[in-house]
Amino acid sequence: MPPVDGRHQCTGALILGAAGILAGRKASTHWRAKAGLAQFGAEFSADRVTVDGKYMTSAGVSAGLDMGLRLCAELAGRDIAEAIQLSMQYDPQPTFDAGDPATATDDRLKLIETVLRQ
């Protein structure tokens, strides 16, 4: 498993995995930490939000916001979740279409590894 330190973010699913909660389940986590899930018997899901049974996991910072809103909708209803989204003024409009590692170029992936390993 890659070390979980300041260079790895959005890895709450690894904590759930270490607790034994995700064994045999699908889970999302930051794509740079996906190899860690296998160590705990979980299967990596590239989805932004993954629900497997009563467990919900997400990948990346903004995916955590998406998961929180989805959970709000399940617990309190869509109207409340949408009101919370509005109160946060969460209206994603990324400047670039570069947030998915599945469509990233090799050069971009190498840049991330080089910069974040310093």
Catalytic annotation, residues: 10
Query: Which residues lie closer than 8 Å to 85 by C-beta, 6 or more apart?
Result: 69
pLDDT band at 71 (very low <50, low <70, confident <90, very high): very high
Cα 110 from chain centroid?
21
Per residue in 11-21, pLDDT (tens digit) is 889 999 999 99
Torsion of CA 107, 47, 39, 111, to 10 degrees: 10
Per residue in 72-98, pLDDT (tens digit) is 999 999 999 999 999 999 999 999 989
pTM: 0.83
List domains and CATH numbers for the chain: 12-93 (3.40.50.880)
What is the three-state SS of 29-77? CCHHHHHHHHHCCCEECCCCEEEECCEEEECCHHHHHHHHHHHHHHHHC
